[in-house]
Amino acid sequence: MINKGDKIPEVNLVKATENGPEQVSSSDYFAGKKVALFSVPGAYTPTCSAKHLPGYVEKADALKAKGVDEIACTAVNDAFVLGAWNKDAGSEDVTMLADGNGDFAKAIGLEMDGSGFGLGTRGQRFSMIVNDGVVEELNVEAPGDFKVSAADYMLDQL
C-alpha cells in the first residue's frame, strides 16, 4: 500500500470534462500542484452521494484557502458516470478522475473486493493530500466507516 512520502505511481486516468473524457497520466495530473484527492467506492452510492462528495463541495473554498490547488475525486467508474454524478451532486470545484479499470486503485494498493454487493473490484474509501506527485497525508477508512476521508478531517490536516 502507498504511504506518506511515496510518489504517486504512473497510471492513466480519465478526466471527466464538459467536452467528454480526457485521458491524463497521473504524473502529469499531480505535477506542480497540491491536490486534495478523495476516493469513493462508487458514484451514486449512498454514503458517497449523501456525505463524501457534498462535504468536499461544501468545503472547497476552505480547502483552497489552506493551499489546495485542486480537489479531485476518483472511483472505479467510467468518466461518463463520474461526469454525470458531478453534474448532479458536485461542482466545478471538484475534478472527477475515472479509474474505470481499477488500475490506479491497484497501483496504490487500495483496491477492495465489493463483489458481495455486486460491485466487483473497487477502490477503497480514502483521502490523501498529494503535493507535486508526493503523498503528504493518507487517510484510509476502515471497511464501512466514513471519518478520516471526510473534507473536515482533511481541513484539520492542512
Which H or E run contains 136? strand 134-140
Which residue among 35, 37, 40, 48 is the active-site one? 48
Nearest by Cα to 77 from 107, 105, 57, 54:
105
Per-residue pLDDT, 128: 98
Q: What pLDDT, on the 0 to 100 scale, is given for residue 1? A: 95
Type of residue found at 130: V
| Structural domains of the chain sorted by starting position, each given as residue range(s) with its CATH number in brackets | 12-157 (3.40.30.10)
pLDDT at 45: 84
Residue 73 a catalytic site member: no
Mean pLDDT by 10 residues, the chain (158 residues): 98 94 97 98 87 96 98 96 94 96 97 80 94 98 94 96
pLDDT of residue 46: 82
Question: Within 13 Å and on the Cβ side, how many CA atoms surround 14?
Answer: 20
